[in-house]
Chain A
């Protein structure tokens, strides 16, 4: 097992730049997530690592070796595709052993590895079936099995769960995490689903428009979003953004906006932004219906069982709050919210400042 290092990658298709200035490292045995909205270039990064595309600029190191000039075959990587891409004319056994047969591995070795992997993934009784005779979940396992059999230095997953139904997706997600623990392999995993990213990832690389927005642990991205995009992308429902400015009154600093005014004297970093326009972001789960500085009118209340989502409006700004169930308010009522200071972030020109 080896790590992966990417340095200053750039890729364009025709005249459109899809990736620029991409640099990151994945250490050995790490589960790394490439997260971002569709079209952000995350799959292209994966294809560049795999050697299915050539970058215009930059280097890719697998272990200590620079692999840019190598074919996919020589890079010793395995990839699990979104559509699984099982060979329809071959049965499960042949699908899993395909790469080994290309490599001309002796038959008894192939047999042993395929059997062992099939046992690991609980598909031993499916080996003689064709892909079309398998369910979605089973195909998924076969695709993962095909990757494991090769004993690659790096696993690449391209949205592997997006074709499964919601229930199976959750189950497979848990299985994947277990599998990673068992194999200890280095994984680069592409997804647009933040739940997958937060639960599976040890490191998340969040991309937008072909540019890295933030690299960090799930906690980093949630607790210290680098910019407005990250803050808005991570977390569901989305973070509330309130535009306003920093003002000083009676030797105290305040964040003032049409919706609310709050005391921010405990944030010394904001002193540099007095008189400037900034954005306050607060996650819905840090708003509590209580005596507080923010007054809003309820527009919709969603009771989800374990929790309740309140959609309200204050001075024309939509406010979302996520609270425990038991809330009795109705549409059209006025409500006040108190803030938990931990959940408040400030941004200037899109960048987090406090």
Chain B
């Protein structure tokens, strides 16, 4: 296999070029159909239970993702209750209604709110809160007292301090939120007012992130490429030579991304980082080949032979390092988060592809280089960099590591203890709004609006009533009554059909039966009494089936609202009882004493019939379904952090354990803030599984590679220390464990093992060659240590362009990649020798006879 590949590459370089060029062209052509996806909902598989429930709730309650527009006036003594501000709010709201993609009937704004009040002679009155901009300062100021009487408006559409107003703009599709937010911004910019306008909301954050992510991909990946190019040029001082690994990197990235796009996968936050991850990894193998080639190249000999020998020599370690890196990333497939799986799978593929491209393209490239260019390589012969600063530092480090084993081990043990303490402090948290820097306008809007309002993040606590035997019981009992009617001579055929039909939902089912009985009662003169009995029985069951219309159930909802507020994480709740109480108060004259729930289900029904006679009857169905079997309590949260949502969920779990819900009633969560929490939980569990899975596989690969379980264990040490140290650091510096951080564990595993493989394998070879551990321990800190250090530097610095990204997850990845490289290089170059020094007899004595297997 490897001979065939090699001889093909060396003897048919033009064919290799042609094939690679065609592949690149083909996959590059796929790239324009790229589809960006930043919807965190897609972090969960479409069939995931919480997601399915969330989508059902959104549909049943006609809820849409909403952009939150805020208007703040800190100067006027009346806050936003002045003519100019309210005029601006009115104009902005009207402008928003005209934007395509906005669900106009459900836009919530003060100027689109309905007010329910007492008229001059005590009549009940529905009137628009602010149909026209207020014409006098008194009218403007008067709106404040109206708002104070409407619990659904206060602290949702206008802040309690009167300084801020909000417009909730539901949109048809999430991917419209960025363009719509720009249109709203343009409208706000054109307003002549002294108010400040802010736009936020999860969909805007997500969609804006998508747009910026796209730009980031176009900037960061090429920058990382440039950085790597410069570093390699620094090390090799030969731009023609350095060009080759760059081509390998570009070929790998283009084919991998082209494949991803052509297979119909969307590009998520994680997959957008694939090019940045692949670029340094793809370069590493080429660096090995070229270093080695430069060492062995002799202008008097045939180029083909030299390169063939080099590749033969490096084939196995390169294959193994590629395989282990690939396994590290492939282990992400064990995490049940589709975008993470896609990321893992394609980086794993890319790593192997890079290996293949390297052993095909690099030999072909070198064979086709001009003799003059090759001659330049002589300068790079081994030893030429033996006196650089790096070389001297490494030599000193080697002496130190081998002689002060116990000291190093003690230090590492200390670090491990600290790291474990740090790991225990890790805060698992994510919030799409925090993907932006503090200074980003979305972050600022988020801060300002949540300072004034009870919260701009929403979640829904949904109560559902179910009685599976309800209709069966009805059918059984109705049977006797319908038989009575039939015996009395009524033509009950149609009524019977209606009763026996398969019920779609209880309301429609009972409605159609009642309508059929009603019609029959008009036509028949026989069995009237029995039919009327059936009618009133059916009506009774129907009213009873409207569970959340019952005063007891409404009181239950109130209790839940209170419990939610008591969790401490909720700014405000809005629910069905709030509507009922307001209408009841206004029906009875507007006194606070009547702010209550009526005594019977019928009274509630009649109260709601009045609410439905308003300008916005549809608002009712955002809180209860028309069959009154499901009700949604709206939560306003001040923070979209998963942690805060977790606390509320946990507190409610505790509450419900002590105060169980009535029979047949279940409680569940929905809403974007909650969904974020679900996938975060799944990710943490999944990542642990991925990491352990990869750890076991890589250990077996190492034991196999070194034909020694003991050396296999040794190989696992640096990466274990690195992972613990990095995550310990994350715990100590209070960096939230979010998605990019989670993914880094696999990356660490995949990359640190490479250093260990090279170090152990070279050490083993050196012990065999030099015949003594002492001699080998000096040699290992020459060229082999330099290669490892050089690769660590290339990869670490290759990620530094990410520091300049405008999006936080990119900065995080850049910073931690660099740290991982430094820590794992240190762990390899200091800890491994220390351990070897202590256990050398056990590890190496028996090895003397065994021929080195892989170099």
Q: Do A and B bind each other?
A: no
Interface residues of chain A, those whose CB is within 8 Å of chain B, are none
Q: Show the binding face of B for A, using Cβ within 8 Å.
A: none
